[in-house]
Structure 1
Amino acid sequence: MIFENSLSFAQQQDRQDELSVFRDKFHFPIINDQRVLYFTGNSLGLAPKSAKEYVNAEMDEWAKWGVEGHFEAKNPWVSYHEILTPASAELVGANESEVVCMNSLTTNLHLLFVSFYQPSQHRYKIISEAKMFPSDRYLLETQVKHHGFSPDDAIIEVAPREGEHLIREEDILAAIDNHKDELALVFLGGVNYFTGQLFDMEKLTQAAHDVGALAGFDLAHAVGNVPLQLHDWHVDFAAWCTYKYLNGSAGNVGGIFVHDKHGNNTELPRFGGWWGHNKERRFLMENTFEPMSGAEGWQLSNVPIMGMAVLKSSLDIFQAAGIENLRAKSLQLTAYLEFVFNDIVSQFSNIELEIITPTEPEKRGCQLSVKLVGTDKSFFKALTEAGVIADFREPDVVRLAPTPLYNSFEDVYLFGQTLKSLLAGWQDE
């Protein structure tokens, strides 16, 4: 497609967009009496308009039934998590037995590490990407310390090469080979939160397995963003949050994937809780933990119904839109944002734009991380005050996520016009 940085072009693309009907299913914030341009679905997705209806339905069931709502509600609470499974499994490319929604992201990862990080004296190292999300780094640090190892020795971080921003997958593969006799686990973000780089999870999983290690992924920035095929890729385990691209509301329940080859092994070490216990015997209050087969066997507690109701409102939208359709739009929308950025910045001699997200569309999701060299956080604040909600990372990186479920080509064009106006003022100072 040949892009044009014009309102007429953007509006034409929106008229041809079969997914444009989903935009009206979300609330856009109004700040300072202005409807914002929202490009931070990679941090917190917008609120589905239907969420209140879904939550109110459960509030009514609570009022009607009290505790009996666990069994008598239209969607009985005792099994409410099960109605989220089909859509969740579809989004990550899994069998329904391999997925369950529960807890929060880092909690889930710690629980999964109990099962999938079982280091020995000789095989204890973990390979990860440098500059991963801090919570993941804290997870790795505390896990290896818990097992009596030094983080400096046990955690192998693969970083971009000097002068580069992206991690070369060949360097990850080389690290796997270099540490093959000591390697217990490869653990990466499926999409790196800072750069938006999408890793080849199938290739990296296979490389880990080839040397006798396991492979797991934090999918916080991947689920709902890019199509996944975790089962077919033979990924061992994964976890994700639901408040970014899945629009599940701030801090809401997360999800996990455990491949059937592990999920069907009820002897695998894990921490137990009564919601992971054999559900046919759960209410017999027995002393001995008997884990359910599949991912459900990693559950601990009964589920937060109101939060899950919000998540269901969004997952129903995802099922209607289709992740493959969203990906097709995402490729075009992100490419258009890249084009508009380059076009605007080229008009200002004192501003250097450096996109640190992969320029190859297939190696990124719906995110552009850009360095506006010569600006600082005050410029980002001006962008926010002008009605553009994005995300800033020190010292000069702005992360923008043109989310295909609710962002439009006109949003991207209007962002470009706002950027142009701000850069003109910046240049005149």
Structure 2
Amino acid sequence: MQFQNTRAFAQEMDARDPLKTYKREFIFPEVNGRPVIYFTGNSLGLQPKRTRKYVDEVMTDWAELAVEGHFQAGKPWWDYQERFAVPLSAVVGAQPSEVTVMNTLTVNLHLLMVSFYRPAAGRYKILCEAKAFPSDQYMLQSQVKFHGFSPEDAIVEIGKREGEHHIRTEDILDKIAEIGDELALVLIGGVNYYTGQVFDMEAITRAGHRAGAMVGWDLAHAAGNVKLKLHDWDVDFAAWCSYKYMNSGPGNASGAFIHEKHHQNKELPRFAGWWGHNKERRFLMEPSFDPVHGADGWQVSNLPVLSLAPYLASVEMFAEVGMDALIAKRDVLTAYLEYILREVDAQTFGEFEIITPDKPGERGCQLSVLLHGQGRPLFDYLMKNGVVTDWREPNVIRLAPAPFYCSFEDMYEFGKILKKGIDTLQTT
């Protein structure tokens, strides 16, 4: 497609966008009396307008039914999470029995590692990417220490080559083969939070299994953003947060995936709780744990229904649109943002550099921009002028044009503000 850096072109693209009406489904903060251009759906998605209705339903049921809401509410609380199975499985490429919602992301990764990180004297190492999100780093360090190993020995990080911004797939595959029989687990972020690189999850999962290891994925930046086929890729387990691209609200509930090949294995260790117990016998208060079949068997505690209500509102919106339509818009919208950035860069003599892969299959919504010029003052200028983005040390701004609520005219307008910001700061 031949892009143009004009408002008329951007407006024409918006007029032809089959998802254009969804922008009106979200609530935008305002700066200087105008709705912001919102680029931080990779950190916290905007609030859908329909969310309040879902939360109000729970509040009304709580007020009118109290404890009886567990069974008598319009959406009974005791099996509230089952409403996610079909729509959420479509988002992550799973069978409905393979997904559940519970807890929060790092909590779920810890719980899943109980089942899938089973180190032994000769096979104990974990492969992860260098510069993983800090919570993952802390989680892995504490897990290997819990099992009596040294993080310096047990955790193997694979990083980018000197002078490059991305980790090469062949380097990951070579490192898996090199560790070989010592490798117990591969656990990588499906989309790197810093660069926006999408890893080849299918090839890496296959290589990990070939080495005899379990393979899991942190999909915090992938769920609702990129095409996932967790079941077909034979992934052992995965977890993701719901508050980024899936717009469920700050710090909200996490999703989890456990491949169906593990569902029948009752010898697989897990930290059990009564909400994972046989649903039909749960209230008999039996002393021995009998897990629910499927991913729900990893549930631990009574459901946080007030947290799940906003997530359900968003999941049902995803079901209306479908991942294929979102990805189709994502690719064109992100490409247009890249075009605008390069136009501005050419006019400002190399003030910044895009460090996200340029191939659509290796990125999702996010473009990470390494600033060579103004740095933090440029970020501050954007924020003061109605462009909500985020800053990552040492000198990166992340831009995520989420297809649900970002428009082509947003990209054009951002380019104007960015250019003016650079020009203004260069003269001060």
Q: Please, which runs of 5 or more residues in structure 2 have no aligned partner? A: none
AA aligned opposite 2:223: V
Partners of 1:407 and 1:274 lie apart in 2 by 42
**Deviation readout 1:327-378 (Å, 9 max, x if unpaired):** 01100000100000000111113x4321110011110000100112022212
Q: Which residue of 2 aligns with 1:250?
A: 250
**Deviation readout 1:2-26 (Å, 9 max, x if unpaired):** 0001100000000000011111100
AA aligned opposite 1:75: K
Deviation at 1:305, TM superposition (A): 1.1
Deviation at 1:123, TM superposition (A): 0.2
Deviation at 1:312, TM superposition (A): 1.1
AA aligned opposite 1:25: E
AA aligned opposite 1:8: A
Partners of 1:289 and 1:315 lie apart in 2 by 31
AA aligned opposite 2:87: A
Q: How does 1:265-284 map to 2 (within 5 A)?
A: 265-284=265-284
Q: How does 1:359-374 map to 2 (within 5 A)?
A: 359-374=358-373
Q: Please, which runs of 5 or more residues in structure 1 have no aligned partner? A: none
Give the length in aligned residue pairs.
428
Partners of 1:104 and 1:202 lie apart in 2 by 25
**Deviation readout 1:273-297 (Å, 9 max, x if unpaired):** 0000111111111111111121111
Q: Which residue of 1 aligns with 2:400?
A: 401
Q: Which residue of 1 aligns with 2:198?
A: 198
Q: How does 1:230-241 map to 2 (within 5 A)?
A: 230-241=230-241
Q: Which residue of 2 aligns with 1:162?
A: 162
AA aligned opposite 1:85: A
Q: Secondary structure at the match of 2:280?
A: coil
AA aligned opposite 1:125: K
Partners of 1:140 and 1:306 lie apart in 2 by 30
Partners of 1:352 and 1:13 lie apart in 2 by 28
Partners of 2:64 and 2:351 lie apart in 1 by 61
Q: Which residue of 2 aligns with 1:65?
A: 65
Q: Is the 8 A contact 2:32 2:385 kept in 1?
A: no
Q: Does 1:183 align with 2:171?
A: no
Deviation at 1:105, TM superposition (A): 0.1
Q: Is the 8 A contact 1:266 1:292 kept in 2?
A: no
Partners of 1:282 and 1:337 lie apart in 2 by 52
Q: Secondary structure at the match of 2:248?
A: coil
**Deviation readout 1:150-205 (Å, 9 max, x if unpaired):** 10111110010011110001110010000011000111001111000001111100
AA aligned opposite 2:313: S
Q: Is the 8 A contact 1:220 1:240 kept in 2?
A: yes
Q: Is the 8 A contact 1:195 1:356 kept in 2?
A: yes
AA aligned opposite 2:276: G
Q: Does 1:110 align with 2:110?
A: yes
Partners of 1:148 and 1:334 lie apart in 2 by 45
Q: Which residue of 1 aligns with 2:126?
A: 126
TM-score, structure 1 as length reference: 0.99
Q: How does 1:20-419 map to 2 (within 5 A)?
A: 20-349=20-349, 351-419=350-418
Partners of 1:427 and 1:2 lie apart in 2 by 31
AA aligned opposite 1:108: N
Partners of 1:428 and 1:382 lie apart in 2 by 14
Partners of 2:359 and 2:99 lie apart in 1 by 31
**Deviation readout 1:240-295 (Å, 9 max, x if unpaired):** 00000000000111010000001221221000100001111111111111111211
Partners of 1:224 and 1:99 lie apart in 2 by 14
Deviation at 1:59, TM superposition (A): 1.1
AA aligned opposite 1:43: S
Q: Is the 8 A contact 1:377 1:395 kept in 2?
A: no
Partners of 1:267 and 1:348 lie apart in 2 by 62
Q: Is the 8 A contact 2:158 2:172 kept in 1?
A: yes
Q: Is the 8 A contact 1:342 1:353 kept in 2?
A: no
Root-mean-square deviation (CA, aligned residues, Å) is 0.8
Q: Is the 8 A contact 1:369 1:398 kept in 2?
A: yes
Partners of 1:278 and 1:266 lie apart in 2 by 13
AA aligned opposite 2:91: L
AA aligned opposite 1:38: Y
Q: Which residue of 1 aligns with 2:424?
A: 425
Q: Is the 8 A contact 2:99 2:256 kept in 1?
A: yes
Q: Is the 8 A contact 2:334 2:365 kept in 1?
A: yes
AA aligned opposite 1:211: A
AA aligned opposite 2:355: I
Superposition misfits of 4+ residues, deviation over 2 angstroms: 31-34
Deviation at 1:40, TM superposition (A): 0.3
Q: Secondary structure at the match of 2:279?
A: coil
Partners of 1:50 and 1:215 lie apart in 2 by 36
Deviation at 1:32, TM superposition (A): 3.9
Q: Secondary structure at the match of 2:257?
A: strand
